[in-house]
Each structure stands twice: as structure tokens, then as C-alpha cells.
Amino acid sequence: MKRSTKILGVITLVIGGLTAIAPWFADRFGDPKRSIATSFDTGGPLGLGFDYLGRPIAPQLFEGGRALLLAALAAAVLSQLVGLGMGLWMAAKSIGSPALRFGLDVLLLIPAIVTSLIAFYLAGSNLYAVIPITAVLTLPFSSRYYQANAEPLLRSGFYQHALVAGDSVAVALVREVIPVLKRPILTDLGYSIIGAVYLMATVSFLGSAADTAGFLWPRMVSDNLAGIELNPWACLAPLLAIMALTVPLNLMVDSLGGDELE
């Protein structure tokens, strides 16, 4: 692994770790739910000012990332587990795989934002209900990716040898194929986390106009967009925070892909 990939990995982990522990320090910067100033006032804790209801931005910023990060991680892991299983299943041309591919193609055809927005409304105030929905929506992509990666391996000697030696298809896949797919799994997991943050943030951003539920950072962006000229930080601080989660991870995954090619 290249040195730059390792550095990016460390940056990603540090940002992820800080986002996860930040809510414990939120109350040091004020009450995120109490209005104490006029709308979009400047100054306040850390100089980030106040939101459209006059609540301080800094404690909201500290509080808002963990739920988004954990939900995205859960959705990505779930999607990878099911996607890997489905991809291997289809690569092995097992029973029902054409029907499964067809079903996934049907899902792929409906714009993801429409499906996820409807699912967001259906989930009501339960934020974590979007986890399985996000996982399902990324399945057509992850299953295709693993199918494409596994097909050449299934034609290789070591997999065939395991089958001839008496292993079942499932055992041969788990013992012989999955360990070889370690790097592609890591790469796709990274993209999957970015995709989940992206989708969940976007749905919360779009949905917040009609609902008060949603992840805090994207909702802050949406709610404070109108006051961008009065207090830009009310909108830009959560926006930069979301980018801080996705950009280093994307650079790391891209660098990891480069390592793989080399």
C-alpha cells in the first residue's frame, strides 16, 4: 500500500472518530435546541453564529454527524454483505440468479432519489428505517460489481479444484473466492459508505422541506440556506462537515484502486 493511501486512511479514520465522539462535547458550546439570538445572527460559540431560529450553530454541528455516519456505515456494511452474497450467487449461475438479476434491474430503473424520498416519508420520524432502504437501493450496483469480480475467479483452477474435492458451492465460495476478493471488498465498502452518506444527506436535504425529520447536518444546510447572506456559516459549516466525511474517504478509495492497478 502506498504511503499516500495510508495517510489518507489515517485522515479518514481521525475525521470519522471525531465525528463519532463530537456529540459528547456539544453541550460545552451551548444548548443546540434553545433560541438565544435573532435569526442568522453572527458571532456566538466558535464564531459560527446562529441559525434561522436563533439557535447556536456550533453545538448543532458537534451533535449532528454521528447519526449520519453510523447510519451510513450500517447501510454500507449491510449492502456489502447482501451484495457480495448476491454477486457470488449470480457469478456461480446458481438457481434463481436470472430472476434475481431481473428484479435488481427493475429496482435500478426507478430513480433512486424517488424511491428513497418515498421511503423517507414512509419511515416517518424513524431515521434508522432508511438504513435497509439505502442498502437495498445500492444492491443493484454492489451485486454487479462482485459478480464481475468473481466470474474470472470461478473459472480458475483453485475454485474448480475445491468443487472436485467435494466442497459445496457455498463452502468453495467462502473458503476460496472471498479471501481473494479482500481488496475489491474494501474498495467497494469505501464507495458504498460515500454513496450512503450522499443518499441519506440528499434525502434529508430534500425531505426537510416537507418534514422535520432527517439527519441534522443536511437539515441544517436546507433550513439555513435562505440566510446564507446574513450568516454563511449556518449553511456552509454543516456542508463542509459532510464533505469532510466523504472527500478524504473518496481520495483514499481512489488511491487504493490505483494501488490495485499497479
- Residues of this chain that interact with another protein (CB under 8 A) are 102, 105-107, 109-111, 113-115, 117-119, 121-122, 124, 194, 197-198, 201-202, 205-206, 209-210, 218, 221-222, 225, 228-229, 232, 235-236, 239, 242-243, 246-247, 249-251, 254
- Shortest reach from residue 202's CB to another protein, in Å: 6
Contact 206, 62 (CB under 8 A): no
In terms of CB distance, is 178 or 247 closer to another protein? 247
CA atoms within 13 A on the CB side of 115: 15
Minimum distance from CB of 248 to another protein (Å)? Answer: 8
- Shortest separation between residue 158's beta carbon and another protein, angstroms: 26
How are the residues of the chain apportioned to helix, strand and coil, as percentages rounded to the nearest 5? Answer: 80, 0, 20
Compare residues 88 and 194 and give the one whose CB is closer to another protein.
Answer: 194
Residue 20 or 117 with smaller CB distance to another protein: 117
Nearer to another protein (CB atom), residue 66 or residue 219 = 219
CB of 194 to another protein, least distance (A): 6
Cβ nearer to another protein, comparing 83 with 227 = 227
Find the shortest distance in angstroms from Cβ 155 to another protein.
17
DSSP character string of 199-218 = HHHHHHHHHTTT-S-S-HHH
Type of residue numbered 261: L
Cα distance between residue 145 and residue 141, in whole Å:
6
Contacts of 6 (CB under 8 A, 6+ apart): none
Helix or strand or coil: residue 56? strand
Alpha carbons within 13 angstroms on the beta-carbon side of residue 226 total: 8
